């Protein structure tokens, strides 16, 4: 089966990295695509193996498929690969609010991506405080002629409110910024709005 071949290739590649000493545990891993990867106590655990690092999985092409199909054609293979790492983060731009029950099969899962297209309340309820909600606000709000702080606060309020109600930890990652409409100050305004909102929530 094609997925089994892809999994075998990924495992052999990771085996080679470990054998060649390319995973250096003394150098802390400072980033995983879309989110900070730091975690106290992670680096010493594997001594240069994948256990010293965060793993990252996603399946954006499965954004609109059923949870059952996502599980059959992606998650059962992702679990086998990601379990080799010390911690794992799953999700990118695909909405996962109705798929937490399959994502949680990853044994070392720490963070789940929650996009603007996900139902934050449903995701927070399903996560139930067990994983970090890595909330990704809509980058379209910085690609405007006139920055609207109210719209940004409204979106953050939905995401943060869901986390507070369910006891979930969260972070906010403004990503996929294709344009700021030639107004880079919109980025600064977004950051100031977000920081002010969180501090005064």
pLDDT tens per residue, range 78-98 = 999 999 998 999 999 899 999
Angle at 132 between CA 39 and CA 194, to 5 degrees: 100
122 and 112 in contact (C-beta within 8 Å)?
Answer: no
Q: How confident is the model at residue 52 (pLDDT cuts 50, 70, 90)?
A: confident
pLDDT for 15 equals 96
Structure-block tokens of residue 146: 């006139």
pLDDT tens per residue, range 104-148 = 999 999 999 999 999 999 999 999 999 999 999 999 999 999 999
Q: How confident is the model at residue 25 (pLDDT cuts 50, 70, 90)?
A: low
Least confident of 28-32, 93-97, 132-136, 175-179: 28-32
Kind and range of the H or E run holding 194: helix 185-199
pLDDT for 61 equals 93
In this model, does residue 45 exceed pLDDT 60? no
In this model, does residue 44 exceed pLDDT 70? no
Q: How confident is the model at residue 26 (pLDDT cuts 50, 70, 90)?
A: low
pLDDT for 46 equals 55
pLDDT for 1 equals 79
| Mean pLDDT of the 135-164 span | 97
Give the SS3 label for residue 132. Answer: strand
pLDDT for 128 equals 94
Q: Which domains does the chain have, with CATH numbers?
A: 55-199 (3.20.20.210)
Per the model's pLDDT, the better-predicted residue between 42 and 82 turns out to be 82
On the 0-12 / 13-18 / 19+ scale of CB atoms within 10 A, 158 is middle
What is the secondary structure of 30-86 as a DSSP string? -EETTEE---TT-GGGTSSSGGGSEEEE--GGGTTS-HHHHIIIIIHHHHHHHTTSS
| Mean pLDDT of the 174-178 span | 91
């Amino acid at each position: 089966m094609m997925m089994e071949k892809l999994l075998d290739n990924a495992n052999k590649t990771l085996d080679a990295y470990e054998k060649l000493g390319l995973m250096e545990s003394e150098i802390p891993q400072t980033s995983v695509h879309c989110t900070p990867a730091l975690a106290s106590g992670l680096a010493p655990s594997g001594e240069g193996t994948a256990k010293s690092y965060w793993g990252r999985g996603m399946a954006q092409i499965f954004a609109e498929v059923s949870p059952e199909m996502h599980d059959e054609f992606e998650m059962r293979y992702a679990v086998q690969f990601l379990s080799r790492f010390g911690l794992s983060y799953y999700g990118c731009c695909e909405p996962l609010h109705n798929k937490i029950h399959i994502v949680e099969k990853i044994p070392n899962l720490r963070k789940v991506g929650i996009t603007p297209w996900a139902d934050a309340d449903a995701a927070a309820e399903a996560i139930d405080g067990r994983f970090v909600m890595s909330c990704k606000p809509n980058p379209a709000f910085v690609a405007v002629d006139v920055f609207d702080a109210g719209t940004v606060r409204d979106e953050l309020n939905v995401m943060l409110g869901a986390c507070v109600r369910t006891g979930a930890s969260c972070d906010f990652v403004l990503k996929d910024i294709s344009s700021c409409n030639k107004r880079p100050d919109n980025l600064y305004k977004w950051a100031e709005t977000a920081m002010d909102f969180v501090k005064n929530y």
